[in-house]
Amino acid sequence: MIVIGYNGFTRGAEVFRRLWGVEGVDRHNVLGHDAAVAVLVDGELVAAVEEERLNREKKTSAFPMNAMRWCLERAGIAFEDVDAVAFPWQFSADAVRTMISEACDVSQTPEEMFQYIDNLDQAYTELLCRRAIREDFARRTGYDLPDDKLVLVPHHLAHLMCGYYFGGGEDTAFLVSDGRGEQHSSVMGEIRAGRIRLFDEQTINAGHSLGLLFGEITRYLGFVPNNDEYKVMGLSAYGAAPADNRLIGEVVRLREDGTYEMTTLVDDPQGARPHYPVLDRIFDGSEETRQRFTYRATVAAAAQHMIEEVTAHQLRALQARTDLRRLTFEGGLALNCVNNTKLLEGSRFTDVQVSFGASDPGVAIGAAVYAAHTPGRRCAPATPSPYLGPDFDDAQIRAALDDRAGRVWWRELAPGEIADETARLLCGRAVVGWFQGRTEYGPRALGNRSILANPAFADIKDIINARVKHREPFRPFAPVVLEERAQEIFDMGKKRVSPYMTFVFPVRPEFQDRIPGACHVDGTARIQTVNDEQNPELCALLRAFTTRSGVPCLINTSFNVAGEPIVSSPADALDCFLKTEIDHLVLGPFLVGKNQ
């Protein structure tokens, strides 16, 4: 069975801008952001890539035509070969009724309510209904998708199935939490023998979304909502949540049944910002104080504490309803890796699985898995891997180098030289671009499109933030470490591996002075573990580097600058290399430097 899963819509941003004035930073909230395509052949994921890697527009919501074209070519198929096309949104009659009733519950004039309902009608007709999705697909691909081949998948179930697939297809309890799906923001339940059971009583609707509230606090602190929440998480380590965190109680109220509610709806159809005055009141804030680092760190710490307390509250309810010992956590909130570790350690679950596609890039994969899934049959890849996107042969790399011949020099390394020569360069304060194999999927660079550096230098974080990434100085960097050594260096608690940078662990005291560049201000690190089966090239480099330097890990950050997608092609890598102060680039077998 061949299934395509995809996310994205041609005119989504345009329609939301016309109807609700959603533009600028708000465009990241529109339907279908993180557009992507995935192809599943007989249960095996053979190709997947995010559209942003190809069209170079970060978090694009556009129809993923470039990604579609590449995935079909990689899989060696045509549209006529495909059994199903899965789309990770399903605006059912019930979902639409809920949206209309919620609009009528807010404090609006009759004219405002009718205007909203009219806007919703236009959005449904132009974007959300089955006919609109098929027409958009045909308009962009030239293929008239038969109606019986289109599978509309509820958004949160698409999230769930991505995690279930990469978690091995085993029985699992689950929590999915994000900004919003069609009508909900959080669901929980369990999967047994492939059958999904939702605990409806613990479902949270979109108007009381913890993810959207965290997004509003992200905006309040001067960042981009639905994009920069991880900055708030990083910033929180510089502050301390008040002993009596008034966000819990005055903004979020916990209920005894494991659910919660917002005192003011965050999914406001008029785009108002009702929490700004509330936050100012709670934290004694103003336009002036919001610019102060200490103030922002305090608010960030309170917001992080709120996330941890509310999701732990949910987890207690989930534990009371299931005897399963394994948890799958997906959705945008599952990218809060500080929270993930605390959820695991504070629960009776023996493991928590968070995939590399936990946020919206994963729903293209999850939708495909949902469409191909048969209850009772184990659905999982033979070897889970995030390396699903384009790769490039030596001839393609040479062509990109030749195009920039006046600006760079290069020499080809023998296969046995690549790791050792790169390790030699990394023993100093050099910053190295590392481009190998297939492009990673998801928001994290996992060793194929990475910027690497030596964590033994305390100032290396400042060097990379200022000279390379062009981003905020408080931002930490993650270390990549051989799986076989990870527990020696990091206190991993119940975890044994963390291959996708989705958990944070304390750096053991005896290593904090040895890898200061990889330690956050609170002594923790968001690690990536790697083994030879997952990424042999990166493992070879880590061993060569440790042998030369005695340092047991490397800093690994995404190969991009602030505001741009992670590089995908050799041309992308060279252009990023040339406009930053990256010292060296290892591009496949080629060591590249800059001409003076």
Q: Contact at 8 Å (CB) between 506 and 523? A: yes
Task: Transcribe 374-420 into DSSP letters.
Answer: -TTS----SS--SB-S----HHHHHHHHHHTTTTEEEEEPPHHHHHH
Residue 107 contacts by C-beta under 8 Å, 6 or more apart in sequence?
Answer: none
CA angle 510, 513, 518 (to 5 degrees): 105
C-alpha 351/C-alpha 349 separation (Å) is 5
Kindly report the backbone phi and psi dihedral angles of residue 342, in degrees, each rounded to the nearest multiple of 5, phi listed first.
Answer: -65, -35
Output the furthest CA–CA distance in the chain (Å, rounded).
Answer: 73
C-alpha 273/C-alpha 266 separation (Å) is 8
Pick the closest to residue 91 from 79, 99, 83 (CA basis). Answer: 99
Q: Contact at 8 Å (CB) between 120 and 100? A: yes
Q: Contact at 8 Å (CB) between 188 and 199? A: yes
Q: Contact at 8 Å (CB) between 357 and 158? A: no
Three-state SS for 425-461 is: HHCCCCCEEEECCCCECCCCCCCCEEEEECCCCCCHH
Relative orientation angle of helices 293-321 and 210-220, to the nearest 10 degrees: 170
Residues 387-415 as b or e (16 or more Cβ within 10 Å = b): bbbbbbeeeebbebbeebeeebebeebee
Q: Contact at 8 Å (CB) between 422 and 447? A: no
Q: Contact at 8 Å (CB) between 390 and 70? A: yes
Q: What token pair was written down for 213?
A: 């509230």
Query: Alpha carbon of 393 to those of 49, 186, 532, 589: distances in Å?
Result: 18, 43, 22, 10
| Total residues belonging to the chain | 596
End-to-end CA distance of the chain: 54
Residue 16 contacts by C-beta under 8 Å, 6 or more apart in sequence?
Answer: 22, 27, 29, 30, 31, 123
Place of tokens 């964590």: 455
C-alpha 259/C-alpha 208 separation (Å) is 10
Rg (CA), the chain: 23
Q: Active-site residues: which are they?
A: 33
Task: Transcribe 546-561 into DSSP letters.
Answer: HHHH---EEEEEESS-
Give the bridge partners for 432, in sequence order.
452, 584
